[in-house]
Copies of this chain bind each other. A is one copy, B any other.
């Protein structure tokens, strides 16, 4: 029985994680921390959540844990990772702290020096399908961002095959409101989000952009990405519509073949039949990614859907844990 701890169990990713781990037959939740609700129970905060006591982060019994999940704000996550690694826990960090390999890039985008730059080189960027073989040895996994998961799973077959690009890739992404976090804000007020639809931080300014470009540049060092996030009036789900200008003369059949080959054996990635497009209905409340392919002249249009709280956060974190711990990869996720 694996003993797992959750830091930050009362945010949306944290409670999703608690629910998944509760169903997981090989895991016992050792502790759950909260900043605002210490002394209460998790199901007092979310009526459907497991009945877990909420303790302060500083009181977490790290020495008894096998693995800890960090659902904390950036910087707080890195500091907790340092403590947890020192206590010999394996760490799966759902924050952005260990996703960027270069501390200078981190500082540029997060306006503060990295709290633990020495750990950056050891962290594995946990897009499970891409790094499966590195996970069993990983001590520290940087769980990918929600938008990057939807975009990178869709682009990966193209990038791995070295398909040349004739211009910038455009990712027009739409996310449900839970992506904005649980702290109430004007933009997440029901009255302002319902019946509305809003782009925000479009172009080259969202913090998920460098995370995606770092991945892309491993394969195509000068590829450029334009990223346009939008706020969708649904609680959960991300759909990314991705425009890739294909610079080769590859046929639609060959492109489709690349995707089918890349994901044929994957339990959680589904390449949709020709003519079918990905929608949120394919994926919400599951750990799946659905990918549709459409051609328009020389542009390949990819539609890629995930649940931002599952495959985009807590689900992929558990998938990573399963592989790290040599469990069945799908345990707790069906």
Q: List residues of A whose CB falls within 8 A of some B CB.
A: 12, 23, 46-48, 166-168, 170, 172, 174, 176-178, 182, 184-186, 188-200, 202-204, 224, 226, 228, 230, 232-237, 239, 241, 243, 245, 277-286, 290, 292, 294-297, 299, 301, 303, 334
Assess whether A190 is in contact with B194, with CB atoms less than 8 Å apart: yes
Cα distance A48–B167 when bound, in Å?
35
Out of B167, B241, B277, B297, which one reaches A245, CB within 8 Å? B167
Residues on the B chain within 8 Å of A190, using CB:
177, 188-190, 193-194, 233, 235
Out of B46, B188, B281, which one reaches A198, CB within 8 Å? B281
10 residue pairs A–B, Cβ–Cβ below 8 Å: A23-B334, A168-B297, A172-B241, A194-B235, A196-B234, A199-B277, A226-B243, A228-B301, A230-B241, A233-B233
Assess whether A280 is in contact with B196, with CB atoms less than 8 Å apart: yes
Assess whether A226 is in contact with B299, with CB atoms less than 8 Å apart: yes
Assess whether A195 is in contact with B48, with CB atoms less than 8 Å apart: no
Smallest CB separation, A298 vs chain B (Å)? 8
Residues on the B chain within 8 Å of A278, using CB:
199
Taking each of A281, A303, A334, which has the highest tally of chain B beta carbons within 10 Å of its own beta carbon? A281
Out of B170, B182, B191, B334, which one reaches A188, CB within 8 Å? B191
Cα distance A301–B186 when bound, in Å?
25
Assess whether A286 is in contact with B48, with CB atoms less than 8 Å apart: yes
Residues on the B chain within 8 Å of A177, using CB:
189-191, 194
Cα distance A118–B204 when bound, in Å?
50
Residues on the B chain within 8 Å of A277, using CB:
198-200, 202
Residues on the B chain within 8 Å of A233, using CB:
190, 194, 232-234
Assess whether B189 is in contact with A48, with CB atoms less than 8 Å apart: no
Assess whether B197 is in contact with A241, with CB atoms less than 8 Å apart: no
Residues on the B chain within 8 Å of A285, using CB:
48, 285
Smallest CB separation, A43 vs chain B (Å)? 10
Smallest CB separation, A330 vs chain B (Å)? 13
Assess whether A203 is in contact with B172, with CB atoms less than 8 Å apart: no
Give the 6 A-B residue pairs with the shortest CB-CB distance, closest first: A184-B184, A203-B296, A198-B279, A190-B193, A47-B282, A172-B172
Residues on the B chain within 8 Å of A294, using CB:
202-203
Assess whether B48 is in contact with A281, with CB atoms less than 8 Å apart: yes
Assess whether A237 is in contact with B279, with CB atoms less than 8 Å apart: no
Cα distance A281–B233 when bound, in Å?
12
Tell whether A241 pairs with B290 under 8 Å between CB atoms, given A228-B301, A233-B190: no
Out of B197, B237, B284, B301, which one reaches A239, CB within 8 Å? B197
Contacts beyond the supplied A46-B281, A177-B190: 19 A-B pairs with Cβ under 8 Å: A47-B281, A47-B282, A48-B284, A177-B194, A184-B188, A188-B189, A188-B191, A190-B193, A194-B233, A195-B236, A195-B280, A196-B279, A197-B232, A199-B277, A224-B297, A226-B243, A226-B299, A226-B301, A228-B301
Taking each of A47, A197, A243, which has the highest tally of chain B beta carbons within 10 Å of its own beta carbon? A197
Residues on the B chain within 8 Å of A296, using CB:
168, 202-204, 226
